[in-house]
A = this chain, B = another copy of it.
């Protein structure tokens, strides 16, 4: 089954990629852009059918490898939790 890990820069942490994207959008005349944050969206396909186990393993993977909790936050979601 599929699990999604969303990793974003922490509030208040410098996000150089976000700043670069904002500057580029301003140069393209998108003056309404006030702030940009760039994070990661990681889709994991796991060999399990148990959503509780999948989520808990993905949280472990995020803590161990996928996110740097000094500067990033993450959350693990199952695709059915996303309505859009």
A residues with a Cβ closer than 8 A to B are 6-8, 21, 24-25, 28, 30-48, 57, 60-61, 64-66, 75, 77-78, 81-84
Q: Determine whether the beta carbon of A8 is less than 8 Å from that of B82.
A: no
The oligomer's copy count stands at: 2
Shortest distance between the CB of A61 and any CB in chain B (Å): 6
Identity of the chain B residue whose Cβ is nearest the Cβ of A47 in the assembled complex: B32
Q: Determine whether the beta carbon of A33 is less than 8 Å from that of B6.
A: no
Q: Determine whether the beta carbon of B43 is less than 8 Å from that of A39.
A: yes
A41 to B38, CA, bound (A): 6
Q: Determine whether the beta carbon of A42 is less than 8 Å from that of B46.
A: no
Most chain B CB inside 10 Å of its own CB: which residue of A44, A57, A78: A44
